[in-house]
Amino acid sequence: MTYTAKTFTIPALAGISEKTIAEHLKLYEGYVKHANLIGEKIAEMSADPEKNAYPIMEMRRRFGFEWGGMRNHERYFEQLEGGAVALRDGALKTMIEAQGMGFDAWLAYFKSIAMTRGIGWAMLYFDRDTKSLATAWVDEQHLGQLATAEIILALDMWEHSYMLDYAPSEKKKYIEAFFANLNWGVVEARLAKVV
């Protein structure tokens, strides 16, 4: 399988610079490139699987990181297309509130997850088994992803997403900027596809 980098139409954002987005997109393209490269190298080395058993196994492990980086970033950039769109009354808001807290309390909770020390992602998932939402922290690109759950909201908390605009000690400002620019319509559409 060969992957192709997607293109995104992202308008000027409040609090997230064009330079940050441009550099961030280059990093995303690197994940796509490396996911493809690993697939090619595994295919080449599989001609002699006994001799190449160790590097093949290690590349398979690395593939999860590169693939996760590719897909997580696609979710992230899609959410910034079309400009900021407010969350409407509807299925997503109802499901968030069904977790026993109002939307504002849930949003504060999600932002607290995004403040987790280290690199990773704050994610909102839809769990098909329980027909409910789940919020989680994902280390790096892949460690802690909730198996079988669908990502409906992805917030990149690696330093590359904000360091051209904010110091690490100011990452809370980046989180606020992300939500100020978020197209909730994209998130609502993702949920609609999986419920």
Residue-level length of the chain: 195
Integer Cα distance of 191 and 176 in angstroms: 23
Q: Indicate whether this model's pTM tops 0.75.
A: yes
Q: Tell me what pLDDT residue 144 has.
A: 80
pLDDT at 140: 86
CATH hierarchy code of domain 91-194: 3.55.40.20
Q: Is the pLDDT of residue 143 over 80?
A: no
- What are the strands, taking DSSP E only, across the chain? 120-127, 132-139, 150-156
